[in-house]
Amino acid sequence: MPSYLQASLVAGMVAAASVTCSSQGYGASTAAGVNPRGQVLSLSCAGCHGTDGKSASIIPSIYGKSAEYIESALKDFKSGARVSTVMARHAKGYSDEEIHLIAEYFGSVGKKTGKTGGRK
Amino acid sequence: MSSISRRDFNKLLLAGSAGVAFGVFGSGSQGFAAQKRVVVIGGGFGGAATAKYLKKLDPSITVTLVEPKAAYATCPFSNWVLADLRTMPQITQTYSALAHRHGIKVIGDTATAIDPVKGTVTLKGGRTLGYDRLVVSPGIDFKWSAIEGYSQALAESKMPHAYQAGVQTQLLHKQLHAMKDGGTVLICPPANPFRCPPGPYERASLVAHYLKKKKPNSKVIILDPKEKFSKQGLFTKGWQRLYPGMIEWRGATTGGKILSVDGAAMTVKTDLGEVKGDVINIIPPQKAGQIAFTAGLTDESGWCPVNPMSFESTIHKNIHVIGDACKAGAMPKSGFAASSQGKVAAAAIVMLLRGQEPAPPSLVNTCYSLVGTDYGISVAGVYQFTANGIVEIPGSGGLTPIDASDDQLAQEAMFAEGWYTNIVRDIWG
Ligand SMILES: Cc1cc2nc3c(=O)[nH]c(=O)nc-3n(C[C@H](O)[C@H](O)[C@H](O)COP(=O)(O)OP(=O)(O)OC[C@H]3O[C@@H](n4cnc5c(N)ncnc54)[C@H](O)[C@@H]3O)c2cc1C
| CATH label of the domain that carries residue A14 | 1.10.760.10
* Residue B396 confidence (pLDDT): 96
* Residue B21 confidence (pLDDT): 31
Share of chain B above pLDDT 90, in %: 92
Amino acid occupying residue B1? M
- Distance in angstroms (rounded) separating the CA atoms of residues B110 and B322: 17
Judged by CB atoms closer than 8 Å, whether chains meet at B357 and A14 is answered as yes
Top-tier CATH class for B366-418: alpha beta
Q: Which of B2, B14, B25, B354 to mutate to test the interface with A (most CBs of A within 10 A)?
A: B25
Split at pLDDT 50, 70, 90, the class of A118 is very low
Q: How many helices (H) and strands (E) does chain B have?
A: 11, 25
* Residue B173 in this model has a pLDDT that exceeds 90: yes
- Distance in angstroms (rounded) separating the CA atoms of residues B305 and B334: 17
**Structural domain spans, chain B:** 6-141+287-359, 148-284, 366-418
Note the CATH architecture for domain B6-141+287-359.
3-Layer(bba) Sandwich (3.50)
Residue A9 belongs to a domain? yes
Which region holds residue A109: left if phi is over 0, alpha if psi is between -120 and 50, else beta?
A: alpha
pLDDT in tens, B68-111: 999 999 999 999 999 999 999 999 999 999 999 999 999 999 99
Residue A119 belongs to a domain? no
C-beta separation of B181 from B218 below 8 A: yes
C-beta separation of B231 from B119 below 8 A: no
- Distance in angstroms (rounded) separating the CA atoms of residues B220 and B238: 14
Q: How far are the Cα atoms of A26, A92, B329, B347 from residue B10, in angstroms, in the given order?
A: 22, 18, 24, 21
Considering only the beta carbons, identify the residue of B16, B22, B415 that sits closest to A13: B16
Split at pLDDT 50, 70, 90, the class of A32 is low
Q: Is the ipTM of this complex over 0.85?
A: yes
Helix (H) or strand (E) holding B55: helix B45-57
Judged by CB atoms closer than 8 Å, whether chains meet at A14 and B16 is answered as yes
CA A23–ligand 1 middle distance (angstroms)? 35
Instruction: Give me the residues paired with residue B261 across strands.
Output: B268
Dihedral sign for Cα B170, B171, B176, B179, please.
positive
Residue A118 belongs to a domain? no
Q: Nearest chain A residue to B387 by CA: give it.
A: A1
Radius of gyration of chain B (CA): 23
In this structure, the residue with its CA closest to atom 15 of ligand 1 is B334
Q: How far are the Cα atoms of A118, B48, B213, B269, B341 from residue A54, in angstroms, in the given order?
A: 8, 19, 37, 50, 20
* Beta strands at B120-123 and B128-130: parallel, antiparallel or unpaired: antiparallel
Residue A120 belongs to a domain? no
Q: How far is B258 from chain A (nearest CA, A)?
A: 36
Q: Which of B4, B362, B417 to mutate to test the interface with A (most CBs of A within 10 A)?
A: B362
Pocket test for ligand 1, best of B41, B45, B298 (most atoms within 8 A of CB): B45
Residue A81 belongs to a domain? yes
Helix (H) or strand (E) holding B426: helix B406-428
Position with higher pLDDT, A33 vs A35: A35
* B267-270: strand order across its sheet: B258-262, B267-270, B273-276
C-beta separation of B318 from B116 below 8 A: yes
In this structure, the residue with its CA closest to atom 20 of ligand 1 is B335
* Residue B10 in this model has a pLDDT that exceeds 60: no
Judged by CB atoms closer than 8 Å, whether chains meet at B360 and A58 is answered as no
Residues of chain B in contact with residue A14, where contact means CB-CB under 8 angstroms, are 16-17, 20, 357
Closest listed residue to residue B293, CA positions, set B284, B304, B282: B304
C-beta separation of B98 from B89 below 8 A: no
Q: Mean pLDDT over residues B245-269, rounded?
A: 97
* Residue B32 confidence (pLDDT): 47
* Residue A110 in this model has a pLDDT that exceeds 90: no
In chain A, how many domains are there?
A: 1
What CATH code is assigned to B148-284? 3.50.50.60
B206 lines ligand 1 (CB under 6 A): no
* Residue A21 confidence (pLDDT): 32
Q: How far are the Cα atoms of A82, B110, B207 from residue B256, in angstroms, in the given order?
A: 43, 37, 19
Q: How far is A109 from chain B (nearest CA, A)?
A: 13
Residue A83: domain span: 3-18+34-112
pLDDT in tens, B268-305: 999 999 999 999 999 999 999 999 999 999 999 999 99
